[in-house]
């Protein structure tokens, strides 16, 4: 492992000024992605600014019903927080479907949003990867790409976004607070993760030196049932082949509100907005769920080894919507 | 024999050491002035190393030296053969030439003051290669047939004619992906030289074998080498061979005059530290309409590397398992650009029995016959391969018991017919089997004046419980309490013991320990009946052993400690040897069992889970039933991975391993565990050895993947002939 300078910060201001917008410096919280990639020589920060002492550990309900989550709240704390289990069960389910207890104990809310892909060619310093080394090519395109994305891909990158938590955030709707050298700003969660296009190395709408300080969830959908379904090669501690986070609110026999996002299939947390729109006003029946799945996957494109993800994602969507409907109360 | 300790559940005698951290695994060893080695792996699989750029790495903090092709001592090659007691993964020496034969082959070894410094510098080494086209990534990706191994062929009767004339037949080809051992503890070496003597701590399944190999490679007299492996965090076979890191580390230590420790990272362990080779098997089976087998033809191809000719013998069980007059097996070997494959738990037969037991299920379908009934109709009571009776075979009881516990009689034979909510149930079964082997072995025992007993043998405990079964043997034969028994294993300077492989350690080691113990007791009796002894003048033949004491016919009892103390003797020693003998001409020795499996398939979300496993296994006498059951349960878990998820993925374009870690190579986790119900029959096989044990480390893995695959067919109507059976192969696309 390379040597790096480590500067623990006590406040957000101190952290931002210590980082200083330096491309060779990284913020470190739980370290579950960063340390892993430093050991593999894939990420090579010369300096790390420790943020674990920053006062960003609170979960609080705002007057308008939104939930403001500090960036350092761990995945474990967030998944089990009473306000989350009561009002945002999709988020709780999604977080608990990810990683292992040990990792969730270390991983933070902000860090999870910044989690990097598990594409094996990204993690192999000797392989061609436009995300790791812009312009070097993409060994995944014609390589072993069974785990790779089918939505939002480009000829430069097909790496799947790995997070489960982010799938729930995409469905729920949220706002991120970023603090950087030029002050604080807010950005919608749905605008934060970029498509790879021709610059897969630029994964986020984040400026040099900016730090995520809070995630604020939109107000919960009243009466909605939620279900997060993750399909994978083993029952736990494994990334999704396809996952679906669904919320359904039913009123007088028709869908009043629908939310749907996908994991394991997109190059970013995949919010299926058109499918949601198609569901609203329809009876919550399997035939409509199948139509919605078709819309969500209309633009999917597969490579040699991941064509099965298209029907698999369709199955995940339909079953998740069915289960969410069962959990909903018709009002 | 009536026993009070052997055959009874006995807690591990080393359990406390493992629980408290006193167990000294190789990586735990430290030495004064110790340096750390970190290999630099090649990033191509086929070509030539042209230039190494070492300047940057050399200048990094803590770097002491970097070894490579132009900077490495002249050493001797060692053969690789069990006959030479000398098993190495590569006859080629580290850095011997600049040709690259596989991804991950070492091109350099960085030595630095700390592990982290060595790793950082290893990452900073840059290499230029001349990559050559035509890398063979896997037997699964090529049409190449490989070369036929005449020595592996077997034929009896006229299988071709019998096949052609038979009324019912099947002909299918099965593939199994290469697997990794994924043992918990990495390959690791600590080498140090003291006054010209090489002392190596190594996580090894054969300290005596590594000792011989190192002596040959470094040109040292036998007594100038010592290999120590007190505890092993399992190996499953990949620590039977000595790997290049051990030689490179010992050479670096010699050149630098300081101890050097190298612990492989998981990635390198998976690339170049052994694997179960991928295989292709064509099975042609033919039967009468009543199910009697008329012809069995089993043609196999497996991989080996370009630096070793390791053969995974896939068909070796086939001629023995069923009654059939016309049988042939053949074996081909294909070189691929991988690190050398090596034995992995139940090597060869795990793959071979998988194909055979799957083919039998397909034959049962063709016959419209219950698959268990098909096996019963072809039951044999002697070994047709050797024309000898089985020493002890109770497979019929295994079938009966396991079928009853499983509820097999309630099975609807039609695929997709058994349903529970969203899920289809599938029930499948297969036979398990593993040959019983025994080698020659020596042991030493000391009866000590403090009342303790020490038993020593140059075999090792790979986590299976060898320390405990040796202690049980001593306790059984002396009546001395387990806590007063010291067992020494895992040192190559002890009397030569076997490799921990082939499920043969128990049957090999315990008779030698017993012989040494009897020798020591004879010495004790002689001393006790001699001048000044507690039984002076008595006939030593008339003294008996009871609870750590000698007892004469008048009932006078004197403890071992008192006898020795009275004579001012610190100890009496015994040496013992044991080896297989004439019994091999009278019987054939093999263990058998049966697995019954339930899977659940939810076609709506393509979810496949193993929900129940019921196994009945006959291994002769289980010396320690708790440890024996643990071996079978662990094998079943390993079989789950083989059947459903495990696959080493070599990129077909360049033969590089892309899933060299625990995330991308998927082993089962706790949430995948089914209900596992294991029954061990208890039929001591005294024809095999005086303790009646045939060994248990491997048999549980044979047949389990076939039982799962057969259950998947029953649940889905789909026959998946390529392992692993991932959901994308089963789902409707």
Q: Is residue B144 part of a domain?
A: no
Q: Is residue B99 part of a domain?
A: yes
Where residue A3 falls among pLDDT bands split at 50, 70, 90?
Answer: confident
* CATH number, position A307: 3.30.390.50
First-to-last alpha carbon distance for chain A, in angstroms, is: 58
Separation in Å, CA of B63 to nearest CA in chain A: 13
The per-residue pLDDT for range B209-253, each reduced to its tens digit, is 999 999 999 999 999 999 999 999 999 999 999 999 999 999 999
Is B199 in the same domain as B78?
A: yes
* CATH number, position B506: 3.30.365.10
Write down the mean pLDDT value for chain A.
97
Residue A331 pLDDT more than 70?
Answer: no
The predicted structure's pLDDT at residue B2: 78
Give percent above pLDDT 90 in chain B. 96
Q: Is residue B5 part of a domain?
A: no
Quote the number of domains for chain B.
Answer: 3
Is B325 in the same domain as B209?
A: no
The predicted structure's pLDDT at residue B664: 95
Q: Is residue B330 part of a domain?
A: yes
Is B604 in the same domain as B719?
A: yes
Residue B323 pLDDT more than 80?
Answer: yes
Q: Is residue B152 part of a domain?
A: no
How many C-beta atoms surround the C-beta of residue B95 within 10 A?
22
Separation in Å, CA of A160 to nearest CA in chain B: 14
Q: Is residue B644 part of a domain?
A: yes
- Residues in chain A with CB shorter than 8 Å from the CB of B644 are 233-234
* Of residues B406, B76, B36, B331, the one with CA closest to residue B215: B76
- Residues in chain A with CB shorter than 8 Å from the CB of B609 are 235
CB contact under 8 A, A234 and B732: no
Overall average pLDDT of the A82-95 stretch? 98
Let me know the angle formed at the C-alpha of B531 by B525 and B536, rounded to the nearest 5 degrees. Answer: 55
Q: Is residue A69 part of a domain?
A: no
Is B410 in the same domain as B356?
A: yes
Is B297 in the same domain as B370?
A: yes
The per-residue pLDDT for range A167-186, each reduced to its tens digit, is 999 999 999 999 999 999 99
Of A2, A236, A318, which is closest to B669 when you measure between CB atoms? A236
* Of residues B523, B504, B521, B518, the one with CA closest to residue B579: B504
Q: Compare all CA atoms of chain A with the CA of B724 and give the residue at the minimum distance.
A: A233
Q: Which of B179, B202, B271, B698 is catalytic?
A: B698
CB contact under 8 A, B651 and A144: yes
Q: How far is CA B178 from CA B204, B642, B679, in A?
A: 22, 9, 30
Measured in whole angstroms, the distance separating CA A323 from the mean position of its chain's CA atoms is 22
Work out whether the CA dihedral B209, B211, B217, B222 comes out positive or negative. Answer: negative
CB contact under 8 A, A318 and B604: yes
Overall average pLDDT of the A46-72 stretch? 97
Strand spans (E) along B580-714: 590-602, 607-618, 675-680
Is B402 in the same domain as B450?
A: no
CB contact under 8 A, A1 and B604: no
Is B710 in the same domain as B612?
A: yes
DSSP at B24? -
* Separation of alpha carbons B135 and B112, rounded Å: 34
Let me know the angle formed at the C-alpha of B665 by B662 and B666, rounded to the nearest 5 degrees. Answer: 90
Q: Is residue A310 part of a domain?
A: yes
Are the beta carbons of B494 and B516 closer than 8 angstroms? no
Q: Which of B728, B729, B733 to mutate to test the interface with A (most CBs of A within 10 A)?
A: B728
Write down the mean pLDDT value for chain B.
97
Where residue A329 falls among pLDDT bands split at 50, 70, 90?
Answer: confident
Q: Is residue B3 part of a domain?
A: no
* Of residues B610, B602, B614, B641, the one with CA closest to residue B708: B610
Is B539 in the same domain as B621?
A: no
* Separation of alpha carbons B588 and B583, rounded Å: 8
Residue B183 pLDDT more than 80?
Answer: yes
Is B463 buried (19+), middle (13-18) or exposed (0-12) by CB count in 10 A? buried
Is B208 in the same domain as B63?
A: yes
Separation in Å, CA of B178 to nearest CA in chain A: 15
B491 is catalytic: no
Range of the domain at B211: 31-133+184-233+239-272
Beta strands A59-61 and A67-70 are antiparallel
Overall average pLDDT of the B684-690 stretch? 97
Q: Which of B113, B129, B664 to mutate to test the interface with A (most CBs of A within 10 A)?
A: B664
Overall average pLDDT of the B146-152 stretch? 93
Q: Is residue B385 part of a domain?
A: yes
- Residues in chain A with CB shorter than 8 Å from the CB of B61 are 3
Is B549 in the same domain as B628?
A: no
Helix axes B704-716, B349-367, angle to 10 degrees: 30
The per-residue pLDDT for range B93-119, each reduced to its tens digit, is 999 999 999 999 999 999 999 999 999
Residue A1 pLDDT more than 70?
Answer: no
How many C-beta atoms surround the C-beta of residue A15 within 10 A?
23
Q: Is residue A241 part of a domain?
A: yes
The per-residue pLDDT for range B566-596, each reduced to its tens digit, is 999 999 999 999 999 999 999 999 999 999 9
The per-residue pLDDT for range A114-145, each reduced to its tens digit, is 999 999 999 999 999 999 999 999 999 999 99
Quote the number of domains for chain A.
Answer: 1
Q: Is A179 helix (H, G, I), strand (E, B) or coil?
A: strand
How many C-beta atoms surround the C-beta of residue B675 within 10 A?
10
Is B593 in the same domain as B720?
A: yes
Residue B1 pLDDT more than 80?
Answer: no
The per-residue pLDDT for range A212-254, each reduced to its tens digit, is 999 999 999 999 999 999 999 999 999 999 999 999 999 999 9
ipTM exceeding the 0.95 mark: yes
- Residues in chain A with CB shorter than 8 Å from the CB of B605 are 229, 231, 315-316, 319
The predicted structure's pLDDT at residue B86: 76
Residue B471 pLDDT more than 90?
Answer: yes
Range of the domain at A322: 225-327
Q: Is A260 helix (H, G, I), strand (E, B) or coil?
A: strand
């Amino acid at each position: 492992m390379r040597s790096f300078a480590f500067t623990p910060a006590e406040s957000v201001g101190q952290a931002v000024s210590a980082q200083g917008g330096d491309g060779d410096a990284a913020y470190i919280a739980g370290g579950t992605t960063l340390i892993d990639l430093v050991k593999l020589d894939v990420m090579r920060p010369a300096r790390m600014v420790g943020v674990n002492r920053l006062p960003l550990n609170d979960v609080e309900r705002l007057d308008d019903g939104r939930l403001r989550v500090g960036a350092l709240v761990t995945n474990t704390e967030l998944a089990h927080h009473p306000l989350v289990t009561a009002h945002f069960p999709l988020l709780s389910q999604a977080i608990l479907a990810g990683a292992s207890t040990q990792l969730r104990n270390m991983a933070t809310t902000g860090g999870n949003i910044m989690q990097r892909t598990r594409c094996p060619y990204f993690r192999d310093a000797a392989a061609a990867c436009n995300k790791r080394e812009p312009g070097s090519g993409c060994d995944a395109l014609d390589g072993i790409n069974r785990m790779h994305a089918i939505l939002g891909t480009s000829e430069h990158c097909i790496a799947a976004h790995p997070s489960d938590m982010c799938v729930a955030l995409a469905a729920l709707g949220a706002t991120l607070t970023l603090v950087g050298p030029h002050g604080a700003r807010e950005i919608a969660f749905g605008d934060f993760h970029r498509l790879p296009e021709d610059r897969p190395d630029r994964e986020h709408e984040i400026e040099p030196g900016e730090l995520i300080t809070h995630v604020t969830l939109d107000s919960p959908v009243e009466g909605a049932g939620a279900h997060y379904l993750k399909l994978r090669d083993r029952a736990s501690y494994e990334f999704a082949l396809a996952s679906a986070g669904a919320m359904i609110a039913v009123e007088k026999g028709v869908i009043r509100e629908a939310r749907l996002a996908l994991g394991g299939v997109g190059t970013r947390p995949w919010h299926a907005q058109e499918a949601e729109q198609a569901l609203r006003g329809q009876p919550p029946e399997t035939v409509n769920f199948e139509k919605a799945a078709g819309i969500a996957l209309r633009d999917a494109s597969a490579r040699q080894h991941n064509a099965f993800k298209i029907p698999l994602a369709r199955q995940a969507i339909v079953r998740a919507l069915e289960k969410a409907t069962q959990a909903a109360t018709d009002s | 024999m009536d026993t009070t300790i052997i055959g009874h559940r006995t807690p591990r005698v080393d359990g406390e050491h493992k629980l408290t951290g006193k167990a000294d695994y190789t990586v735990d060893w430290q030495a004064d002035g110790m340096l750390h080695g970190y290999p630099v792996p090649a990033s191509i699989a086929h070509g030539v190393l042209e230039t190494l750029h070492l300047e940057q790495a050399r200048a990094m903090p803590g770097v002491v030296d970097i070894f490579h092709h132009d900077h490495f001592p002249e050493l001797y090659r060692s053969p690789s053969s069990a006959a030479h007691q000398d098993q190495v993964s590569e006859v080629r020496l580290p850095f011997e030439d600049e040709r690259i034969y596989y991804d991950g082959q070492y091109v350099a070894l960085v030595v630095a003051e700390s592990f982290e410094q060595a790793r950082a510098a290893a990452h900073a080494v840059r290499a230029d290669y001349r990559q050559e086209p035509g890398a063979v990534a896997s037997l699964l990706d090529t049409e190449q047939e490989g070369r036929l191994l005449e020595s592996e062929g077997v034929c009896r009767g006229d299988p071709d004619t019998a096949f052609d004339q038979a009324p019912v037949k099947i002909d299918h080809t099965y593939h199994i992906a290469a697997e990794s051992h994924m043992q918990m503890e990495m390959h690791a070496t600590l080498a140090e030289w003291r006054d010209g003597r090489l002392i190596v701590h190594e996580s090894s399944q054969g300290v005596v074998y590594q000792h011989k190999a190192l002596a040959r490679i470094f040109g040292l007299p036998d007594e100038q080498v010592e290999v120590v492996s007190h505890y092993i965090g399992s190996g499953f076979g990949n620590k039977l061979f000595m790997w290049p890191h051990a030689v490179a580390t010992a050479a670096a230590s010699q050149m630098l005059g300081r101890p050097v420790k190298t612990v492989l990272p998981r990635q390198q362990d998976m690339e170049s530290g052994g694997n179960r080779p991928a295989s292709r098997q064509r099975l042609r089976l033919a039967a009468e309409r009543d199910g009697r087998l008329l012809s069995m033809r089993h043609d196999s191809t497996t991989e080996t590397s370009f630096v070793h000719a390791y053969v995974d013998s896939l068909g070796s069980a086939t001629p023995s398992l069923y009654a059939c007059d016309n049988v042939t097996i053949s074996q081909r070997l294909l070189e691929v650009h991988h690190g050398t494959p090596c034995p992995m738990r139940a090597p060869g037969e795990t793959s071979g029995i998988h194909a055979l037991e799957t083919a039998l299920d397909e034959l049962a379908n063709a016959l419209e016959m219950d698959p268990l009934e098909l096996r019963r109709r072809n039951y044999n009571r002697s070994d047709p391969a050797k024309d000898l009776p089985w020493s002890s075979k109770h497979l019929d009881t295994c079938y009966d018991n396991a079928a009853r516990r499983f509820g097999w009689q309630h099975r609807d034979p039609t695929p997709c017919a058994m349903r529970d909510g969203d899920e289809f149930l599938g029930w499948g079964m297969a036979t398990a089997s593993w040959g019983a082997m025994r080698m020659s072995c020596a042991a030493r025992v000391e009866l000590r004046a403090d009342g303790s007993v020490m038993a020593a043998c140059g075999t090792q405990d790979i986590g299976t419980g060898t320390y405990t079964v040796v202690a049980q043997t001593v306790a059984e034969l002396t009546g001395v309490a387990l806590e007063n028994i010291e067992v020494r294993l895992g040192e190559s300077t002890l009397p030569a013991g076997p490799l921990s492989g082939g499920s043969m350690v128990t049957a090999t080691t315990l008779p030698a320990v017993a012989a040494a113990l009897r020798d020591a007791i004879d010495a004790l009796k002689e001393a006790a009946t001699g001048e000044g002894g507690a039984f002076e003048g008595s006939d030593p033949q008339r003294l008996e052993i009871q609870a750590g004491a000698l007892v004469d016919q008048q009932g006078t009892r004197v403890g071992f400690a008192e006898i020795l103390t009275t004579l001012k003797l610190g100890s009496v020693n015994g040496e013992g040897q044991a080896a297989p003998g004439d019994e091999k001409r009278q019987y054939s020795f093999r263990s058998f069992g049966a697995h019954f499996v339930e899977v659940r398939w939810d076609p709506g979300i393509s979810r496949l889970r193993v929900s129940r496993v019921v196994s009945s296994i006959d291994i002769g006498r289980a010396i320690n039933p708790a440890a024996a059951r643990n071996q079978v349960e662990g094998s079943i878990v390993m079989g789950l991975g083989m059947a459903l998820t495990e696959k080493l993925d070599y990129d077909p374009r360049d033969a590089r391993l892309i899933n060299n870690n625990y995330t991308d190579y998927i082993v089962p986790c706790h949430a995948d565990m089914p209900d596992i119900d294991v029954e061990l029959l208890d039929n001591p096989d005294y024809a095999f050895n005086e303790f009646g044990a045939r060994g248990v480390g491997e048999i549980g893995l044979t047949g389990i993947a076939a039982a799962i695959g057969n259950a998947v067919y029953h649940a889905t109507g789909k026959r998946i002939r390529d392992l692993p059976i991932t959901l994308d192969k089963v789902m409707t696309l």
